[in-house]
A and B are shown apart, each in its own frame.
Chain A
Amino acid sequence: MSRATQTALVRDDRTTYEAAAGAAVGLSGVAFVVGLAALVGAVEIGDPVAGVELSVALGAVLLALGLAVVGFGVASRLGFVDAAPQPSAGVVAAVAFTAIWFAAGVTAAGAAGIGTVGRLGVGTVLGGGAFAVTALPREDVGSTVPAGAVAVLCGLALVTGVVGPGWERALAGYNATLFGDTVVPAVVLFASLATGWSAAKAYGGFGARGRNVGAYVLIYLVVGSILAVLVGLVAFVTAKGLPGLLNGVGVGGETLVRWPFLTNGAGLLADVAGVFPALVGTVWLVIGAVLFAVPTGVGAAVFLSEYAEQGRFTGAVEVATNGLWSTPSIVFGLFGAAFLIPRFGNQKSLIAGMLTLGFMLLPLVLITSREAILAVPDEYRDASAALGVSKWQTIRSVVLPAAIPGVTTGVILGVGRIAGETAPILLTMGGGVLPAKSAAPNVLSGFRLSASPPFVSNPALLEATSALPYQLYALITAGLSGNIRNPQEYAWGLALTLLLVVLAFYAVGIATRYYFRRKLHQ
């Protein structure tokens, strides 16, 4: 203390109190991460840690954190530390702790076998008490004691083994059972959020700065857990799918790279069953839908934003497009089945699927293109008009180039949705459960010229074709059986392939957007 110049603006040394609060924030973070890992099954709560079960160790940590947090509040209230608490922790925190303690009271009373009215009574008393403790005293007590007490309660339950690895409870009146495997991580997540927030406030010395730090910790923990779920999902599918996807991969031989899962069909004679027909089907499907929807969507957007009089008509079109975008995909599928299929050879076909997905993609492309075109500054249009350049040329050479990044964003989002759609192609495109390699659509070399209308035909477009999401669905409904060696592995490989195809389309879209943004601004 004495060595540093201490002013109101500059504080260049760290007090023991701050160090302790910082450590508590860190420990809460660790407990949160371990809780998350236990929830997704990366660690087991029954695993031994330092001679005890993980759940007991976590309980001890929560207990310590809870006591520490209460200690921070009391120390500040008694004036041992230099903090700037406000008169009250505020209504939001009070309502939050009321809800938490009401729930805790109802649960505890239920566990003790008290009836419904008694449970609500206990909950109300505890909730009301929590409200009073949070809202009435000064902020340093109000935002630490209820949070610390939650952690102490949870910690005690875990340490004493009231809730542990083997714990389970059938919910009366519901056909469901709670297991310790999920309840313990949930309790840990919850209590560590409370102590993390509270300790962060103590670290910031309460008041405006403390609230700021507390909000940061809360937001980072929540964002982190969302990211963890996302990464966990991708990692899970990847781990399950990789063996199937990489089955038989090698370098050399007849071709430079052998990747049988991607280049084989699912015939009896293939040594490794593959997803080639469905993969090609999905790629053509997306290309066809984009080729249909992007020119029409962008064209309609140009008309609506540049030419049409803004009024009732454009308003009606806007409502209609928004409605179409939120229309359930199975409705589009029905439309395709009832309207398109009779017009294309009366059987499920690739082109019917392309157009159905194109119709689904159209509203999003229209909406985002319109936004992007409206966002192009009027100065560009004025400047071009003042040079004597006609309206259409202005749109083509100034407005549309400036709108491309926005349009691309819309197409990326739309492709992400339609590439994984199952319901519409189930009704319009069909395809087998385990198509052989010969079933893959051969669109490029399928074009035939003829002397009579329609002059060009392409049988490949008129045949039932499989796509990845449909094949996955068909495999699962068929009970994961069939003439392949390891249906389970095959299906997971298929799922991973679908994920990668969608991500690949994303990557193409993002690269396009990046390219055009650079071109516009550098």
Chain B
Amino acid sequence: MSQTENADAEDATDATAVTANRTDGRRASTTAGETVEETRPEWTSYEASGETKVAVEDLDVHYGDDHALKGVSMDIPEESVTALIGPSGCGKSTYLRCLNRMNDRIRAASVDGTVELDGEDVYQDGVDLVELRKRVGMVFQSPNPFPKSIRENVSYGPRKHGDIETGLLARLTGRAEPEREARLVERSLERAALWEEVNDRLDDNALGLSGGQQQRLCIARCLAVDPEVILMDEPASALDPIATAKIEDLIEDLAQDYTVVVVTHSMQQAARVSDQTAVFLTGGELVEYDDTEKIFENPESQRVEDYVSGKFG
């Protein structure tokens, strides 16, 4: 908190601008009764090059009485890496979980605003969550493979969607396709840079892998469903530096074919892997969204500059 106050002290020169901004009624808010935080619409109205994959307009999320995300609008371009950074509790994970409606699983959560995937609102009535989550995959903070074999982990999604039949009935009626399953498992593991390490023990339990391998297995499991967008919620925060480097290489690599959105606490990670970066600051507001280079070298907002240079947060 004291660091925040320091940042505010440095912000004092902008006080007039804050007042001016407040009069136009948008985005000036008072948090904790004293801190005046400033956002301006032009800081977040970034137009990415390339097609828009996910378009988010005026997204508000409440957890009960807690206003976790305030009127966020940002468009995510396709086949690129978008990094979401910000201090803990700033709403970046909440934003991420809105994109594949994982927030539906939290009872107290209510979502307002629109999230469009290829121009279709995912929050309208009658949306098929199964189809949505097939197209928007997710990788979690701590590796969470199922207590099954490596092979079963990778083919879990396709099997449950009926894309691959492996059951007893399928085997009896000759509809089982073990070669297709093997190809899918191999392709997914190769894409996740794990095939070399595990190809001789596909039937071992996935819980026997190291943390970094488990996380890459989770990525392979996600790729096996053939998604278009991959959401990653701090995918490397539970891993050591070497495993982290592997995951980062993988993210850059995946962006050639997929739209990757990655939440991270590590400024270096965001700077290294992402094409554009969105900065969320305390209170669930999107403060600045621009090319990664611009955010890290010449941000518009003083607070963002303080944050990315490590002065606060």
Residues in chain A within 8 A of chain B (CB atoms): 377, 379-380, 382-390, 393, 397-398, 401-402, 520-522
Additional A-B contact list (11), CB under 8 Å, known A387-B160, A520-B147: A380-B146, A383-B144, A386-B133, A386-B222, A387-B156, A388-B130, A389-B130, A389-B160, A402-B147, A522-B204, A522-B208
The answer to whether A387 and B133 have CB atoms under 8 Å apart is yes
The answer to whether A388 and B161 have CB atoms under 8 Å apart is yes
Cα distance A189–B223 when bound, in Å? 68
The answer to whether B160 and A383 have CB atoms under 8 Å apart is no
B138 within 8 A of A: yes
Closest to B107 in A: A309
List chain A residues, Cβ under 8 A from B157.
387-389
Q: How far is the CB of B151 from chain A (nearest CB, A)?
A: 14
One of A383, A390, A521, A522 near B146 (C-beta < 8 A): A383
Cα distance A384–B146 when bound, in Å? 9
Q: How far is the CB of B139 from chain A (nearest CB, A)?
A: 8
Digitize B212-245: 1 where CB-to-A-CB distance is under 8 Å, 0 elsewhere: 0000001001100100000000000000000000
B4 within 8 A of A: no
Cα distance A380–B147 when bound, in Å? 9
Q: How far is the CB of B225 from chain A (nearest CB, A)?
A: 6
CB<8 Å pairs between A and B, sample of 5: A380-B144, A383-B144, A386-B100, A390-B130, A520-B205
Given contacts A386-B133, A388-B134, A521-B147, contact A397 B218 (CB under 8 A): no
- Contacts between chains A and B (CB distance < 8 A), count: 71
List chain B residues, Cβ under 8 A from A380.
144, 146-147
Cα distance A252–B130 when bound, in Å? 64
Given contacts A380-B146, A520-B205, A522-B205, contact A386 B137 (CB under 8 A): yes
List chain A residues, Cβ under 8 A from B105.
382, 385
Q: How far is the CB of B85 from chain A (nearest CB, A)?
A: 22
B131 within 8 A of A: yes
List chain A residues, Cβ under 8 A from B170.
none
List chain A residues, Cβ under 8 A from B254.
none
B108 within 8 A of A: no
List chain B residues, Cβ under 8 A from A386.
100, 102, 133, 137-138, 140, 222
B29 within 8 A of A: no
For the complex of A and B, the 8 pairs showing the least CB-CB separation, nearest first, are A388-B133, A379-B144, A386-B138, A387-B157, A388-B134, A520-B147, A388-B130, A389-B160
B207 within 8 A of A: yes
Given contacts A393-B160, A521-B205, contact A388 B129 (CB under 8 A): yes
Given contacts A388-B130, A388-B133, A390-B130, contact A382 B102 (CB under 8 A): yes
Closest to B138 in A: A386
Closest to A388 in B: B133
Cα distance A380–B138 when bound, in Å? 13
Q: How far is the CB of B192 from chain A (nearest CB, A)?
A: 14
List chain A residues, Cβ under 8 A from B156.
384, 387, 389, 397
List chain B residues, Cβ under 8 A from A382.
102, 105, 140, 144
B282 within 8 A of A: no
List chain A residues, Cβ under 8 A from B140.
379, 382-383, 386
Cα distance A382–B101 when bound, in Å? 12
List chain A residues, Cβ under 8 A from B131.
388
Cα distance A389–B158 when bound, in Å? 9
B142 within 8 A of A: yes
Residues in chain B within 8 A of chain A (CB atoms): 100, 102, 105, 129-134, 137-138, 140, 142, 144-148, 156-157, 160-161, 204-205, 207-208, 218, 221-222, 225
Cα distance A384–B225 when bound, in Å? 12
List chain B residues, Cβ under 8 A from A384.
146, 156, 160
List chain B residues, Cβ under 8 A from A387.
133-134, 137, 156-157, 160, 221-222, 225
Cα distance A93–B7 when bound, in Å? 61
The answer to whether A398 and B130 have CB atoms under 8 Å apart is no
The answer to whether B207 and A521 have CB atoms under 8 Å apart is yes
List chain B residues, Cβ under 8 A from A393.
160
Q: How far is the CB of A375 from chain B (nearest CB, A)?
A: 13
List chain B residues, Cβ under 8 A from A383.
140, 144-146, 218, 221
Listed residue (B130, B137, B221) with the most chain A CB atoms within 10 angstroms of its CB: B130
List chain B residues, Cβ under 8 A from A389.
130, 156-157, 160-161
List chain A residues, Cβ under 8 A from B145.
383
The answer to whether B225 and A388 have CB atoms under 8 Å apart is yes
Q: How far is the CB of B99 from chain A (nearest CB, A)?
A: 11
Cα distance A521–B204 when bound, in Å? 9
List chain A residues, Cβ under 8 A from B100.
386
Closest to A398 in B: B146
Q: How far is the CB of A284 from chain B (nearest CB, A)?
A: 29
Q: How far is the CB of B11 from chain A (nearest CB, A)?
A: 39
List chain B residues, Cβ under 8 A from A379.
140, 142, 144
Cα distance A384–B160 when bound, in Å? 10
Q: How far is the CB of B68 from chain A (nearest CB, A)?
A: 18
List chain A residues, Cβ under 8 A from B130.
388-390
Closest to B133 in A: A388
List chain A residues, Cβ under 8 A from B142.
379
Closest to B160 in A: A389
Listed residue (B130, B145, B160, B225) with the most chain A CB atoms within 10 angstroms of its CB: B160
Q: How far is the CB of B145 from chain A (nearest CB, A)?
A: 8
Q: How far is the CB of B134 from chain A (nearest CB, A)?
A: 4
Q: How far is the CB of A388 from chain B (nearest CB, A)?
A: 4
Cα distance A386–B232 when bound, in Å? 11
The answer to whether B160 and A397 have CB atoms under 8 Å apart is yes
Cα distance A393–B162 when bound, in Å? 12
Closest to B225 in A: A387
Q: How far is the CB of B185 from chain A (nearest CB, A)?
A: 15
Cα distance A161–B138 when bound, in Å? 82
List chain B residues, Cβ under 8 A from A385.
102, 105, 133
Closest to A385 in B: B105
List chain B residues, Cβ under 8 A from A522.
204-205, 208
Cα distance A384–B144 when bound, in Å? 10
Cα distance A377–B140 when bound, in Å? 14
Q: How far is the CB of A263 from chain B (nearest CB, A)?
A: 37
Cα distance A465–B204 when bound, in Å? 48
Cα distance A214–B155 when bound, in Å? 57
Closest to A389 in B: B160
Cα distance A384–B205 when bound, in Å? 17
Cα distance A387–B207 when bound, in Å? 19
Closest to B105 in A: A385
List chain A residues, Cβ under 8 A from B218.
383
Q: How far is the CB of A233 from chain B (nearest CB, A)?
A: 39
List chain B residues, Cβ under 8 A from A388.
129-134, 157, 161, 225
Closest to A517 in B: B147
List chain A residues, Cβ under 8 A from B148.
401
Cα distance A508–B1 when bound, in Å? 60
Q: How far is the CB of A408 from chain B (nearest CB, A)?
A: 16
Cα distance A39–B156 when bound, in Å? 61
